[in-house]
């Protein structure tokens, strides 16, 4: 991971443009994912990690979300056709389940994304294809962070990525934006990654652990630190693009947040 300190939003945009050009000149036509965090000291961590479960077995998590599924389906009126728990437990003892992308299957992935957007602890780390959306999430809080800076991460998969069976080495897997799920996924231009390791069964691990390896056969990550004092100017700029709480969440509560920001700040 490369850390870059910039003075303002324009500095971030310039640095990002430079990186895109450098990657293109090196023959790497990569697609970036972005993530905004409102304190530059915070690590890249999932909501499941923040609940204190950093090395959860994937099969155990599947059992958990299968258990709560009837209540969620009753409340939402939606249904998800998941595999049986024994079938998934057997599947996740096999390296090929993740390495060959046979799991999560589309229904499981759709269900996991829905849970993630509604606050259920998730191993999915959410990203966006838009640096502006990431900027909104970085600057949305009106509480000054202890670091005095927010962070925007830019991530791309390495074209040289490799995952050797039996290596017991953690890696990050991107699962893609093409999924049928809640409309917030599309409003926020979302994408998701899991950090995983296989040690006889698939389990979740830390994204930070993977990026700390600095392995050229793994992925690339840049971290941009931007002063929180830029907050109002950035949010005003994004609001002029109609990028605000209302456009990203489409709820009455989000409308109130947008109006409060415009009138109070």
- 151 CB neighbour count, 10 Å cutoff: 22
10 Å Cβ neighbour count for 21?
Answer: 10
Tokens 């993740």 label which residue? 98
Per-residue pLDDT tens for 81-127? 999 999 999 999 998 888 878 889 999 999 999 999 999 999 999 99
Q: What's this model's pTM, rounded to 2 decimal places?
A: 0.91
Strand partners, 193: 125, 174
pLDDT digits (tens, 9 = 90+) for 122-174: 999 999 999 999 999 999 999 999 999 999 999 987 766 555 445 578 889 89
Q: Beta strand pairing status for 190-198 and 125-128? A: antiparallel
Q: Which residues of 205-226 are buried (b: 16+ CB within 10 A; e: fewer)?
A: bbbebbbeeeeeebbbbbbbbb
Structural domain spans, the chain? 2-46+125-264
Q: Where are the beta strands (DSSP E) in 114-250?
A: 125-128, 149-156, 171-174, 190-198, 202-204, 220-227
């Amino acid at each position: 991971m490369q850390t870059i300190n910039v003075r303002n939003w324009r500095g971030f945009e310039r640095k990002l443009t430079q990186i895109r050009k450098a990657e293109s000149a090196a023959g790497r036509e990569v697609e970036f994912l972005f993530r905004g965090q409102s304190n530059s000291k915070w690590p890249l961590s999932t909501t499941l990690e923040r609940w204190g479960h950093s090395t959860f077995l994937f099969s155990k998590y599947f059992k958990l979300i299968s258990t709560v599924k009837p209540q969620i389906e009753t409340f939402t009126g939606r249904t998800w056709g998941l595999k049986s728990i024994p079938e998934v437990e057997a599947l996740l003892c096999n390296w090929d389940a993740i390495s060959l992308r046979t799991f999560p299957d589309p229904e499981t992935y759709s269900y996991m994304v829905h849970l993630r957007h509604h606050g259920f602890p998730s191993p999915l780390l959410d990203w966006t294809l838009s640096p502006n959306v990431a900027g909104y999430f970085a600057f949305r809080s009106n509480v000054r962070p202890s670091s005095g800076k927010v962070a925007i991460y830019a991530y791309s998969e390495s074209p040289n990525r490799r995952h050797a069976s039996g290596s017991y080495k953690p890696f990050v897997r991107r699962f893609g934006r093409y999924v049928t799920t809640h409309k917030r996924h599309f409003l926020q231009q979302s994408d998701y990654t899991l950090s995983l390791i296989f040690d006889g069964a698939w389990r979740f691990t830390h994204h930070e652990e993977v990026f700390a390896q600095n392995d050229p056969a793994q992925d690339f990550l840049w971290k941009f630190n931007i002063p929180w004092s830029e907050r109002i100017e950035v949010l005003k700029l994004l609001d002029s693009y109609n990028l605000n709480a209302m456009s990203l969440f489409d709820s009455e509560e989000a409308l109130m947040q947008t109006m409060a920001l415009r009138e109070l700040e």
